[in-house]
Amino acid sequence: MPIIRVALDVPLPTLFDYTVADGMETVAGQRVVVPFGRRQMVGVVMERVAATEVAPERIKPVTQVLPDSAPLSAELLDLLRFCSDYYRYPIGQTVLSALPARLRSDKPVTSKPILNYRLSAGGAALDLESFSKRKVVQRRILARLAEQPCNLAQLKALSATAGAQLKVLISEGWVESFASTQNPLLNPDGTTSHSTKPASGQVAGYPPQAGGETNEKCHIFNGAHTLTGEQQLAVDAVTQSGGYACFLLHGITGSGKTEVYVHLMHQILRHGGQALLLVPEINLTPQLENYFRSRLPDVNITSLHSGLSEGERLHNWQQAQFGVARIVLGTRLSVFAELPKLALIIVDEEHDSSFKQQDGLRYSARDVAIFRANQRGVPVVLGSATPSLESYQNAQSGRYRMLRLTGRALAGASLPAVRCVHINQTAMHQGISEVLLREIGLRITRNEQSLLFINRRGYAPVLMCTGCGWLSGCKHCAGKMVLHLKEQRLRCHHCGFQIRVPHACPDCGNADLVPVGSGTQRVESVLQERFPDARILRVDRDSTRNKRVWQTMRKQIHANEVDILVGTQMLAKGHDFPALTLVGVLNPDSALYSSDFRAPEKLFAQLVQVAGRAGRADKPGEVLIQTAFPDHPLFRALQTHDFEGWAAAQLAERQMAGFPPFVYQAMLRAEGKQENEVYQYLNDARTAAVSLQHEVDVLGVVPAALPRRANHLRAQLLIQAASRRALQQFLRAWQPKLDALPAAKLRCSLDIDPLEF
């Protein structure tokens, strides 16, 4: 009987062989149910083989072939094989983790009908000229449907109330719905027509073959914004690339990178391609989706992120898989979306550490996107105002192509003026300087908005006893519990442990307990005392737990119903608030003396992003940074908006110190209840690494930055190599030795290209 190799969601670095009964058809990419031990598991067929080394009596038959509407493509399976090999993660867990949760169960998956709308006979007979002009949205819907049938997403691009107005039109009998379950990738004979890699020099779906016809009608494009010269050069460079090329779009905040993305997508869509746009944060997805819908109103746009329900995620994933969704917006996991007509990948805010998965398959979505673009033969654009030093070095060396946007896109908009406030030489009010408070007051009188940025939620980082010096440490972690005053709780942000605020010191009984330091809640409280009539809005993870709250907050800010914003990095990127003219940065100094060599790079990017929220319209913006080190080179570079100079200095330091991007790293981490077991495992792993005698540097075993979390002791071992190839060759030889080490009571992980130390 035929033998297939199946990927299963188990922590073993191998595929599993099964036989296929007569009459049971399987192809690569098909989901199957197979026996594994005493369980029945869902797996994915990776390949068919003629022979196996497993004894015939040990090979079990496939239990069931799940009737999928379309199997995974060979291209996606190759991408997942690469990720498994590069990130040293079991192939089965790699494949299954990339799929929507519903595809990991044994329930049959069928395509949901796609509901479309068209004019009924009565609607077609309507005279729009005589239709009530007060019913603006209904008129728009009728006019659009007179041109062509549309789905709900396309109609919502016309107005936020299109859904409600559509129901009215249906009840009046002017519009009717019809369902379509057609998979546009099915051939006439019922087989699946998955895409294949384009010929050399030919971008998939763009441009069309010489003399060929595109498979799309000319779609509607709202080209309301005229491109600047730099934007046009960037668009031309990408569209004329003729195959794989990696572009670094280095544009200052407000320079119109999103506008470049829109025009690139327009070019791709004209020729029948699909575009994938990766963003770092979930809360950026809805506003980008709305913006693209307004600019490309007849294009099916879908989103993929963890904020969706399982059903929504599966539906959207299938829309992409069937080629129905022409633009896919998503966070890091969407880099594995099935896209048969993929012709362009964009990674927005490419420097953001959110693109790196920190558990399970520890992949970088940015790096996987670059590999996928190369595999597919299409351009990939990495956009950022503060590129990662790895990407910037690649652009400097010619590996990537640099595209620059040096001016703000809006006429009259200029970069904000940046000033440092020396906190040791000015009056301070519970962490906020008198200078900053005065500037906030001026903005309130001018009906302008201010933003205070502090990257720490809660009321205060720690509670302290004035008698004996007791601090509110977490009994499960090496960190401190944060004071949340309104809830009267001390909460650990590492493990989630929380207790009520004690009435007296647990050590000495002293009742005088004081909060030390500031968080968003304390800043909000100070501002309420100083500006009792001001409308203050706090935006952090605590205040936006509800799914809909952030959308409401954003509307308030845009409607200028807020005077002062207090927030964490949630507010730092991607948002465009026209009335915001002042940004105050509180307590940025801790990153200047961090043990993480990337801390200054992250701080610079964070401050550029948050500063970029000020003065994006015609009103000039100002940024005040409170610091004890106003002459630090980082703050000097921010004041002169000199990313190039700052990056050059940082790269020179990294090269001298032997840090990335001039070396390549892998981090072996271990944690467990017993400290001796953790260190024994890592020291044995180090001995095994040294014995291989590869051209790598094996450093010492050291405690993690947070050496104890949730009652687990944590330590790590760092490996460095001068080239990626040398590191990968070492890891392939080291992996079997690691697998042979006893680690039953430990949690161990291997992190390639680590960002956290």
**CATH (domain of 377):** 3.40.50.300
User: Do 338 and 268 share a structural domain?
Assistant: yes
User: Do 120 and 95 share a structural domain?
Assistant: no
489-491 and 498-500 as β-strands: parallel, antiparallel, unpaired? antiparallel
Distance CA 69, CA 46 (A): 17
* 654 falls within a domain: no
Average pLDDT of the segment spanning 684-706: 95
User: Do 349 and 438 share a structural domain?
Assistant: no
User: Do 334 and 243 share a structural domain?
Assistant: yes
Q: Which residues contact 279 (CB under 8 A, 6 or more apart)?
A: 285, 288, 329, 330, 331, 348, 349, 574
* 200 falls within a domain: no
Helix (H, G, I), strand (E, B) or coil at 95: helix
User: Do 625 and 560 share a structural domain?
Assistant: yes
Confidence band, pLDDT 50/70/90 cuts, at residue 718: very high
* 469 falls within a domain: no
Q: Which CATH number characterizes residue 671's domain?
A: 3.30.70.600
* 511 falls within a domain: no
Q: In the chain, how many domains are there?
A: 5
Q: Is the pLDDT of residue 244 over 60?
A: yes
Per-residue pLDDT at 97: 94
- Where among 164, 180, 196 does a domain terminate? 180
Q: Which residues contact 280 (CB under 8 A, 6 or more apart)?
A: 331, 332, 348, 349, 352, 354, 355, 573
Identify the helix (H) or strand (E) that includes residue 362.
none
Confidence band, pLDDT 50/70/90 cuts, at residue 158: confident
Closest CA to 614 of 745, 439, 455: 439
Closest CA to 379 of 476, 235, 549: 235
Per-residue pLDDT at 224: 57
Average pLDDT of the segment spanning 684-689: 96
Cβ count near 680 (within 10 Å): 18
Average pLDDT of the segment spanning 103-113: 73
218 or 488: whose pLDDT is higher?
Answer: 488
Per-residue pLDDT at 197: 46
Q: Is the pLDDT of residue 99 over 90?
A: yes
Closest CA to 253 of 392, 418, 382, 408: 408
* 192 falls within a domain: no
Average pLDDT of the segment spanning 461-489: 90
Per-residue pLDDT at 207: 40
User: Do 605 and 744 share a structural domain?
Assistant: no
Average pLDDT of the segment spanning 451-476: 89
Helix (H, G, I), strand (E, B) or coil at 152: helix
Cis peptide before 100 (omega within 30 of 0): no
Per-residue pLDDT at 288: 83
User: Do 41 and 120 share a structural domain?
Assistant: no
Give just the sign of the alpha carbon dihedral 631, 632, 633, 638: negative
Per-residue pLDDT at 552: 81
User: Do 124 and 97 share a structural domain?
Assistant: no
Per-residue pLDDT at 94: 97
Q: Residue 449 belongs to what domain range?
A: 417-460+517-643
Per-residue pLDDT at 645: 95
Residues paired with 3 in a beta bridge: 19, 49
- Where among 52, 75, 104 does a domain terminate? 104
Q: What is the pLDDT of residues 110-153, one digit of tens each?
A: 655 667 888 998 888 888 777 887 888 888 888 888 877 877 77
Per-residue pLDDT at 395: 97
Q: Which CATH number characterizes residue 27's domain?
A: 3.40.1440.60
Output the pTM of the full model: 0.86
Per-residue pLDDT at 186: 38
Closest CA to 327 of 268, 390, 386, 276: 276
User: Do 100 and 160 share a structural domain?
Assistant: no
Q: What is the pLDDT of residues 504-522, one digit of tens each?
A: 999 999 999 999 888 888 8
* 167 falls within a domain: yes
* 470 falls within a domain: no
Q: What is the pLDDT of residues 174-233, one digit of tens each?
A: 999 887 544 444 333 333 444 444 433 334 444 433 333 334 444 566 655 788 899 999
Confidence band, pLDDT 50/70/90 cuts, at residue 419: very high
Instruction: Judge residue 16's burial from the number of C-beta atoms within 10 Å of its C-beta, 0-12 exposed, 13-18 middle, 19 or more buried.
Output: buried
Average pLDDT of the segment spanning 603-627: 85
- Where among 40, 75, 104 does a domain terminate? 104
638 or 51: whose pLDDT is higher?
Answer: 638
Q: Percent of the chain beyond pLDDT 90? A: 59
Per-residue pLDDT at 739: 92
Instruction: Judge residue 512's burial from the number of C-beta atoms within 10 Å of its C-beta, 0-12 exposed, 13-18 middle, 19 or more buried.
Output: exposed
User: Do 95 and 38 share a structural domain?
Assistant: yes
Distance CA 368, CA 551 (A): 31
Distance CA 472, CA 460 (A): 11
User: Do 366 and 242 share a structural domain?
Assistant: yes
Q: Is the pLDDT of residue 692 over 50?
A: yes
Q: Is the pLDDT of residue 171 over 60?
A: yes
Q: Is the pLDDT of residue 469 over 70?
A: yes
Per-residue pLDDT at 52: 86
Per-residue pLDDT at 147: 77
Instruction: List the structure tokens of 656.
Output: 């001298």
Per-residue pLDDT at 114: 63
Place of tokens 């009717």: 176
* 491 falls within a domain: no
Task: Give the mean pLDDT of the chain.
Answer: 87
Distance CA 519, CA 541 (A): 12
Q: Is the pLDDT of residue 335 over 90?
A: yes
Per-residue pLDDT at 219: 57
Q: Percent of the chain beyond pLDDT 70? A: 90
Q: Which of 280-294, 527-541, 588-602 has the lowest mean pLDDT?
A: 280-294
Residue 211, sorted as left (phi over 0), alpha (psi -120 to 50) or beta, turns out to be left
Distance CA 697, CA 723 (A): 12
Confidence band, pLDDT 50/70/90 cuts, at residue 306: confident
Cα-based distances in Å from 715 to 44, 539, 667 = 35, 34, 10
User: Do 564 and 428 share a structural domain?
Assistant: yes
